[in-house]
Structure 1
């Protein structure tokens, strides 16, 4: 099963503005690849690249980087923000990639692979990877934590209320956590050299408004918004008010620390 999401212009813009780019994990991926060669790698393909914020992070390590996505709206944003001469984009499904067999050094999918047809995607990834080529699939849970002085516990209780209100609108395909989908892909990957990390925390300094905006990019929030825009706004406003009250500040532009929990699999083709 494959899904088409994040294609409406306002959702695309919000995704670009608020979603976290896992810069720290790029170095982890490159360290996993390092035994292959000492010089610059030739070709990386970032599947489900969306707005390209993750794709361009690969540019320093490869002669050529290609981001692929099925969404024209996402690719339009990626192309308009691309300043790297060795990065380009192509529209195609994740299960049918326009590359010759054995051509690619690295395939990545950053917070996208859970929407793919997994058996078909893994088969296609195996086809285009070179011997010793690497596959890196990563994503994050949707239960970010907040830290602000001695109010951390109170803030996270409010966050849990926010997330719980969105559970009825969550795509049932994802279940309780998309990490289970990635772990299933990890288990089904036949490569003998592979690695799984179930939780790596990444810290970002953001404003209260930024945190709210990030949650509003969730597909569950977007579904609520489409069904009842007034209720979605009421929920966001209520959470914002509670957070500011717990922090004892008045401005939603006040900064706090947001903790995002990533998980990932790395695998090397024999």
Structure 2
């Protein structure tokens, strides 16, 4: 990766606990690759793998999966939670992958490519991919929605209030739209066989506390927390109380539906 993030122990652990793993999109990737045979493909590389929660999803389809990341703390946690014999991890930047040219069947980055030096990463991905190898990049917008019967509309107004409060702390390298970053990469890709999906909704049962915990893993929230921990805590508590009030419940462990809006690009090297 172009620069290290998610290094602090508590942030690393929270990322593992709260982030949503998009197992539905793994099937989209494999369908695009045409891997509907009994024979596993050889090698997948999950770049910017973090805690490895995405890397292990690839294990059933490949003989070997290697997750790479620049963060030693993330990789330590990934290895500690790894129970797949064909998944391993290596520390390296996204722009300098430790693989020979033409060796890799799949290069993927799950909620990570926006942090890379993107022109260098795309060039490096092309180098390591085999002919007919695939590049799969996916992420999600930071505006999850909540569903809870009659309260759905009011809940999402409160969610927007939460995101607006964090907007001044957004990393400037992300620009105004994370999906636009990926669309730009898609459009710059010269492979003739490619696919873009700008919104694939993933639904997860969650609690109010889990939703709050997920937003607290955002780099914008972490920046606010470093600047003013008391204000960050106050913001979370205020949003939590407002959500509970419109739901007309008292427990933050009350379940609702969280909707995460993913987008992705898939491209096959000629």
Q: Considering the TM-score relative to the shorter chain, is it more than 0.5?
A: yes
Distance 1:199 1:176 in 2: 17
Distance 1:223 1:243 in 2: 23
TM-score, with normalisation over the residues of structure 2? 0.98
Deviation of 1:2 after TM superposition, in Å, equals: 2.0
Which residue matches 2:53? 53
Deviation of 1:37 after TM superposition, in Å, equals: 6.6
Deviation of 1:35 after TM superposition, in Å, equals: 6.1
Tell me if structure 2 keeps the 8 A contact 1:36–1:132. Answer: no
Q: Which runs of 5 or more residues in structure 2 are unaligned? A: none
Q: Which runs of 5 or more residues in structure 1 are unaligned? A: none
Which residue matches 2:164? 164
Distance 1:10 1:36 in 2: 40
Equivalenced residue count is 270
Which residue matches 2:190? 190
Which residue matches 1:19? 19
Tell me the secondary structure at the aligned position of residue 82 of structure 2: coil
Distance 1:91 1:162 in 2: 34
Deviation of 1:175 after TM superposition, in Å, equals: 1.6
Distance 1:58 1:40 in 2: 11
Distance 2:94 2:36 in 1: 25
Matches within 5 A, 1:225-264: 225-264=225-264
Aligned: 1:10 with 2:10: yes
Distance 1:66 1:172 in 2: 30
Deviation of 1:3 after TM superposition, in Å, equals: 2.6
Which residue matches 2:142? 142
Which residue matches 2:32? 32
Which residue matches 1:180? 180
Against the structure 1 CA distance between its residues 155 and 36, is the aligned structure 2 distance closer, same or farther, given a 3 Å change threshold?
Answer: closer
Distance 1:240 1:124 in 2: 43
Deviation of 1:84 after TM superposition, in Å, equals: 0.3
Deviation of 1:177 after TM superposition, in Å, equals: 1.6
TM-score, with normalisation over the residues of structure 1? 0.98
Distance 1:194 1:202 in 2: 22
Tell me the secondary structure at the aligned position of residue 68 of structure 1: strand
Deviation of 1:216 after TM superposition, in Å, equals: 0.2
Matches within 5 A, 1:71-86: 71-86=71-86
Tell me the secondary structure at the aligned position of residue 199 of structure 2: strand
CA offsets per residue over residues 59-102 of structure 1, 9 Å max, x none?
00000000000000000000000000000000000000010110
CA offsets per residue over residues 115-170 of structure 1, 9 Å max, x none?
00111101110010000000000000000000001100000000000000001101
Deviation of 1:172 after TM superposition, in Å, equals: 1.4
CA offsets per residue over residues 12-45 of structure 1, 9 Å max, x none?
0000000000000000000000169762100000
Distance 2:202 2:36 in 1: 27
